[in-house]
Amino acid sequence: MGDGLSLSAIIMLIFGATICYGGLAYFLYRAMKGRKK
């Protein structure tokens, strides 16, 4: 207890956040770009 996040947890955190929020930002950007056209 209290040892902080393990390496595999940190990797999953980065992986999950990149896929979910990076992907969402990318497709929202494309949608907004498409709307401007």
- Residues near another protein, by CB under 8 A: 1-6, 8-10, 12-13, 16-17, 19-21, 23-24, 27-28, 30-31, 34
Q: In the complex, what is the shortest distance from the CB of residue 24 to another protein, in angstroms, rounded to a whole number?
A: 4
Distance separating alpha carbons of residues 34 and 30, to the nearest angstrom? 6
CA gap 27, 21 in Å, rounded? 10
DSSP 34: H
Least Å from the CB of residue 37 to another protein:
9
Cα 13 to chain center, whole Å?
A: 9
CB of 15 to another protein, least distance (A): 10
